[in-house]
Amino acid sequence: MTGIVPMILPFHILAGVLALVFGYVALFAAKGATLHRKSGLLFVFAMVTLSLTGALVAFLRASSISVVAGLLTFYFVTTALLTVRRRLEESHWIDAAAMLFAIAVAILGFKTGFELLNSGRPERIPMFIFGAVGLVAAAGDMRMIRAGGTQGPRRIARHLWRMCFAMWVAAASFFFGPPGRVPEVIRIPALLPIPVLVPIVAMLYWLWRLRVRRSLRGIVSVSAAEAI
């Protein structure tokens, strides 16, 4: 089975490069503009290929760590896309399936983390982080299902943080992965954290803007009501 790995790796590497390019373009493009939508969609396609091929290679190599990372990234990027591509009244069975998928991956993450607990390997920490994030995301799915969907700022926030988390995983895997992934000519250790932090900083900034905008709308609504 491991003989398949060399055939999969070129697609995995190409998808990773494209995901980073389209992801950074989508991050910095005007939100809602054509460039943002098209680059974001291409980012999703690249990330789906990257995450599934990565999970498959990890499975063939018996590496539960990368299986968890790949499956969780696949979940985040697909649910982020569905959040903005589906109408509110459409069937929610996909949301229920996605929630169960996230819970299963989170359990696998915790299981792997506990198995590595006494090994001293640094990968045990990301496994607990992935497990916790997976459960938080599943809780968000449950809340959305019970509410009958999501719209407005909550819908944007859900799309935003899931896309940015997937982007962060891709960036961290590339820039903090094996040294050979980053060309030596641009491999400056002090600068490598910057592209990894960009998705997190962008996510926090846009979530903050959404929160401020909601607060301002509330103030305006109250003021208008008082004026009446």
Residue 224 has pLDDT above 60, yes or no: no
Q: What was the pLDDT predicted at 178? A: 67
- Closest by CA to 181, choosing from 200, 195, 161, is 195
| Residue linked to tokens 């506990």 | 114
Mean predicted lDDT score pLDDT of the chain: 85
pTM: 0.86
Report pLDDT digits (tens) over 34-78: 999 999 999 999 999 999 999 999 898 888 888 999 999 999 999
Residue 222 has pLDDT above 50, yes or no: no
Q: 31: helix, coil or strand?
A: coil
Q: What was the pLDDT predicted at 159? A: 94
> C-alpha dihedral over 212, 217, 223, 225, to 10 degrees?
-150
Residue 162 has pLDDT above 70, yes or no: yes
Q: 189: helix, coil or strand?
A: coil
Tokens of residue 12, six digits: 């995995």
Considering only residues 212 and 127, tell me which one the structure prediction assigns the higher pLDDT.
127
Q: What was the pLDDT predicted at 15? A: 94
Q: CB of 40 within 8 A of CB of 163?
A: yes
Report pLDDT digits (tens) over 1-31: 557 888 898 899 899 999 999 999 999 998 8
Residue 200 has pLDDT above 50, yes or no: yes
Q: Which residues contact 55 (CB under 8 A, 6 or more apart)?
A: 66, 67, 69, 70, 71, 74
> Could you tell me the residue ranges of all domains in the chain?
2-179+192-227
d(CA 65, CA 85): 31
> C-alpha dihedral over 170, 175, 177, 183, to 10 degrees?
120
Could you tell me what percent of the chain has a pLDDT over 70? 86
